[in-house]
């Protein structure tokens, strides 16, 4: 339930913020909706092997995912979306939206900011807490101001 709430809220935030940026609202909504597809795939693979990630683990989510299945959830999502022939910039935004220092692409930064906003609205995913630092660069690169 938490994942579906987070996914839908992130997508709706993306759609709402898109007009203030250079990003198409439909593309923004789609990226928000599909950003967690890799989490679902990795969770199923890891649980099949009896593994469960516990938030607060010192190694962090990305290291745990890589140790379990050889890739992170955003890499898995990007691989699937690329296979399904989604636009390259949507695939790239989902793959890179965890970056600490942001990206040069508006959709990537918008996705990071929207997921962080979902977190601040109490609909975040505990495993992602470390990814949502708001920076002036992310706002600027998304084509918007913090206000």
Q: What is the pLDDT of residues 59-82, one digit of tens each?
A: 677 888 888 889 999 999 999 999
- Per-residue burial over 35-57, b = 16 or more CB atoms within 10 Å of its CB, e = otherwise: bbbbbebbbebbeeeeeebeeee
Domain at 2-142: CATH code? 1.10.3210.10
pLDDT (tens digit per residue) in 9-39? 999 999 999 999 889 999 999 999 999 999 9
CA pair distance 15, 56, nearest whole angstrom: 31
Per-residue pLDDT, 82:
97
Distance separating alpha carbons of residues 137 and 66, to the nearest angstrom:
28
- Residues 111/94, Cβ–Cβ less than 8 Å: yes
On average, the pLDDT of the chain sits at 88
pLDDT value of position 71: 92
Place of tokens 């890179």: 96
Sign of the Cα torsion 112, 114, 115, 117 reads positive
């Amino acid at each position: 339930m938490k994942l579906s709430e987070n996914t839908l809220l992130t997508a709706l935030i993306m759609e709402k913020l898109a007009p203030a940026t250079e990003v198409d609202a439909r593309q923004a909504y789609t990226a928000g909706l599909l950003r967690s597809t890799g989490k679902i795939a990795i969770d199923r693979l890891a649980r099949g092997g009896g593994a469960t990630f516990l938030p607060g683990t010192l190694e962090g989510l990305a290291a745990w995912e890589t140790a379990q299945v050889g890739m992170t959830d955003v890499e898995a999502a990007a691989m699937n979306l690329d296979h399904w022939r989604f636009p390259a910039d949507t695939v790239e935004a989902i793959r890179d939206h965890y970056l600490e220092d942001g990206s040069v692409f508006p959709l990537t930064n918008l996705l990071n900011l929207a997921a962080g906003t979902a977190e601040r609205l109490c609909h975040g995913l505990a495993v992602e807490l470390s990814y949502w630092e708001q920076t002036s660069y992310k706002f600027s690169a998304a084509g918007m101001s913090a206000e």
